[in-house]
């Protein structure tokens, strides 16, 4: 994950271990992508008024930037995203077999995470076995978490329509999500 170091104010990437595998390298490069966009003044900072919404802010940030970062890693630096995506997807699907009632702030987090997955995983258009797994994931979400799945799809569709390249694009995505879940009192951007 990326964060600003409290003592130095410097952007930092926290590694749980030294990157040894290709997936580790991808994860580090992805976080670096967030930092580079920030240095290039291409990213918005989300401010939380309520600490219960820190994760929500993180997921909105992901929706605003993850796809464009992964697209760049894939097209410019030839990163193979499929292996990492499959790992995450396989893990996620273990929990989607049964429908559980989702409440409180989790009811906002889950469609946001779904939207981020849809945006990233749809980057893979040349791997049939990946596409089959991705269809399975979407089917599980639709069968067991229908309204959450639909909201995630709406957010992903809107974000694709707006685009991700500029700060103005990101502000529009942010506003769309903030209005959808009436979060204006807890989250703002600068
Ligand atoms: Zn990210």
Which DSSP category does 35 fall into? H
Q: What is the mean pLDDT of residues 138-147?
A: 97
Residues, Cβ < 5 Å to ion ligand 1: 62, 66
| 60 Cα–ligand 1 center, Å | 10
Q: Is 46 helix (H, G, I), strand (E, B) or coil?
A: strand
Ligand 1: distance of its center to the CA of 172 in Å?
18
Residue 114 has pLDDT above 80, yes or no: yes
Split at pLDDT 50, 70, 90, the class of 163 is: very high
Instruction: Give the three-class secondary structure for 60.
Output: helix
C-alpha closest to that of 151 among 69, 43, 59, 88: 59
31 CA → ligand 1 middle, Å: 6
d(CA 62, CA 162): 15
Compute the Cα dihedral for 158, 164, 166, 167 and give only its sign: positive
Burial class (CB in 10 A: 0-12, 13-18, 19+), 85: buried
pLDDT at 20: 72
Cα of 72 from ligand 1 centre, angstroms: 13
Per-residue pLDDT band at 21 (split at 50, 70, 90): confident
**Is the pLDDT assigned to residue 120 strictly greater than 90?**
yes
pLDDT band at 6 (very low <50, low <70, confident <90, very high): low
pTM, full prediction: 0.91
Percent of the chain's residues with pLDDT above 90: 79
Query: Token digits for 9?
Result: 């104010």
Distance 184 CA to ligand 1 centre (A): 23
Q: Report the C-alpha gap between 160 and 38 in whole angstroms.
A: 21
Mean pLDDT lowest among 5-14, 38-47, 69-78: 5-14
pLDDT value at 99 more than 60: yes
Q: For residue 12, report the distance from its CA to the centre of ligand 1, in Å.
A: 14
Pairing type for strands 11-13 and 187-189 reads unpaired
State the average pLDDT for the chain. 92
Angle subtended at Cα 124 by Cα 122 and Cα 126, rounded to the nearest 5 degrees: 135
What pLDDT is attached to residue 25?
87
Residue 102 CA, ligand 1 centroid: distance in Å: 24
Token code pair at residue 44? 């918005």
Q: What is the Å distance from ligand 1's center to 34 Cα?
A: 7
pLDDT at 2 (0 to 100): 60
């Amino acid at each position: 994950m990326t964060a600003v170091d409290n003592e130095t104010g410097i952007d930092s990437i926290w590694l749980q271990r030294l990157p040894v595998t290709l997936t580790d390298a991808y994860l580090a490069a992805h976080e670096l992508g967030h930092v580079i966009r920030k240095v290039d003044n291409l990213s918005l900072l989300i401010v939380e008024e309520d600490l219960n919404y820190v994760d929500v802010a993180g997921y909105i940030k992901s929706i605003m930037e993850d796809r464009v970062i992964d697209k760049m890693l894939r097209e410019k630096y030839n990163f193979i995203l499929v292996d990492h995506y499959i790992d995450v997807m396989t893990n996620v699907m273990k929990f989607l077999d049964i429908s559980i009632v989702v409440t409180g702030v989790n009811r906002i987090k889950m469609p946001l995470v779904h939207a981020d997955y849809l945006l990233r995983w749809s980057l893979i258009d040349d791997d049939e076995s990946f596409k089959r797994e991705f269809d399975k994931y979407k089917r599980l979400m639709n069968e067991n978490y229908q309204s959450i799945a639909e909201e995630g799809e709406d957010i992903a569709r809107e974000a694709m329509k707006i685009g991700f390249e500029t700060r103005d694009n990101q502000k529009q995505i942010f506003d769309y999500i903030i209005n959808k879940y009436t979060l204006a009192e807890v989250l703002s951007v600068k």
